[in-house]
Amino acid sequence: MAGHSSHHDHGHGTKVFADGPLEHHETHGTIFQRIILPFIWLLLITAAEFFIALVIKNEDNKTAVDITFVVMTLVKAFFIVSYFMHLKFEFKGLKWSIVFPLLFIVYLLVLMVLEGTYMYNTLVG
Amino acid sequence: MATPVIASSAPDAAHQATPTLWGGARRPMGARYGKLMMWFFLLSDAFTFSGLLIAYGVLRMSHEWWPNPEVVFQSVPFVADYGMPLIFVGIMTFILIMSSVTMVLAVDAGHKQNQKMVTFWLFLTIIGGLMFLGCQALEWEHLIHQGATMSRNPFGPNYDPVNHIADFSAPQNFAQLFFTITGFHGGHVFSGVILLIILFINVVNGNYQRSGDYEMVEKIGLYWHFVDLVWVFVFTFFYLI
């Protein structure tokens, strides 16, 4: 591939780069669908988080509120990664080689939550 | 007369000859080397931040009492020293989300080969990054002023911002974890701004316009969005929960 050094723009859409043409092209939906809508969702979820933290949260509902916060955070992460970082529209191979290794984080999390509970019970309980 | 085969048409011919994705002569991941490596770098960076945040979670879980974020973070620099919980971090979060949006718009303008708009949106993104860094400096300054250091935490149960009374009888690693994790994130924002400035100079000079290839905007954009992504988690686990 590196041998194809011809390097010019063939008008709109198809470009030939130093290391070959890019087969996959970018336009998926309008700017509203790709950028504005995810942005509105991020703003709304963040605003809801502030509302919950300042108005709804109290000593009695703390656990339920904290779980809600984590779920909202994961939804926001989904919007950033799939739309802003465009991962939703990438090839399957790229998508899964990024998403699958994240399971190791879940594994570490489970491991350390168990350890944290044990430490709490030993030191405090 | 037979036309000689020119070099630039060879990849297309090879593409048609091998219909399978992994059969060779085409990119099985649909992305070029640089972008692929940016993704894998970000994956490794995600592991680093996960390690820090999970360590924070475990230390917090193993304590009976932990400082309440609404008490610790209740100042707005130049406005009020106390009494406005989470307002300032709300402003910081908004700035970072906005700079992510301007970055997406810069990438989009790059796909359209629109040099002027790439310049415009990149400029706004740099401003957003600098504003975030300024806010973080102000917040750190306030916390240090309250007595927080890498080894001391003044936000114990009897901490009183109104009468400037510190209480060091709380978990000491709170401030250390806060400075380490937000500092590591802030370091990423800082290097992101440096990368954006270099990118901005290249865009203004027309380097990408000449080669017809704005992929560098996309690659640095990925890094910038990742910084925003990490902030989403830092925000939840330090300021909300």
Nearest CB to B31; choose among A39, A54, A90: A90
Helix and strand numbers, DSSP H then E, in chain A: 5, 2
Instruction: Pick the range with the lowest mean pLDDT from B1-15, B89-103, B190-204.
Output: B1-15
Quickly state the pLDDT bin for B16 (edges 50, 70, 90). low
Q: What is the pLDDT of residue B52?
A: 96
Residue A7 has pLDDT above 50, yes or no: no
Instruction: Pick the range with the lowest mean pLDDT from B5-14, B152-161, B222-231.
Output: B5-14
Domain boundaries of chain A, sorted by first residue: 101-125
Tell me how long chain B is. Answer: 241
The domains found in chain B, sorted by start residue, are: 32-240 (1.20.120.80)
For tokens 């992510």, name the residue. B100
Instruction: Pick the range with the lowest mean pLDDT from A31-35, A44-48, B187-191.
Output: A31-35
Residue A98 in contact with partner chain B when CB distance is under 8 A: yes
Residue B9 has pLDDT above 80, yes or no: no
Question: CB of A76 within 8 A of CB of B232?
Answer: yes
Query: Chain A partners of B41 at a C-beta cutoff of 8 Å?
Result: none
Q: What is the pLDDT of residue B20?
A: 82
Nearest CB to A50; choose among B25, B90, B213: B90
Question: CB of B154 within 8 A of CB of B146?
Answer: yes
pLDDT in tens, B25-60: 788 888 999 999 999 999 999 999 999 999 999 999
Query: Chain B partners of A85 at a C-beta cutoff of 8 Å?
Result: 222, 225-226, 229
Q: What is the pLDDT of residue A93?
A: 92
Query: Chain A partners of B50 at a C-beta cutoff of 8 Å?
Result: 105, 108-109
Average pLDDT, chain A: 82
Q: Which of A106, A69, A98 is nearest to A82 (CA)?
A: A98
Residue A101 has pLDDT above 70, yes or no: yes
pLDDT in tens, B79-95: 988 989 999 999 999 99
Mean pLDDT of A40-59: 94
Residue B33 in contact with partner chain A when CB distance is under 8 A: yes
Mean pLDDT of A83-108: 94
ipTM of the complex: 0.87
Residue B37 in contact with partner chain A when CB distance is under 8 A: no
Q: What is the pLDDT of residue B19?
A: 65
Pairwise CB contact (< 8 Å): A80 & B64: no
Residue B167 has pLDDT above 70, yes or no: yes
Q: What is the pLDDT of residue B164?
A: 87
Q: What is the pLDDT of residue B23?
A: 81
Q: Which residue in chain A is spatially nearest to B86 when comparing CA positions? A: A50
CA–CA separation, A18 and B154 (whole Å): 58
Q: Which of residues 40-79 of B touch A (CB under 8 A)?
A: 40, 43, 46-47, 50-51, 54-55, 57-64, 70
**What DSSP assignment string belongs to B152-181?**
---BSTT-BTTTTB-B--S-THHHHHHHHH
Nearest CB to B32; choose among A19, A27, A84: A19
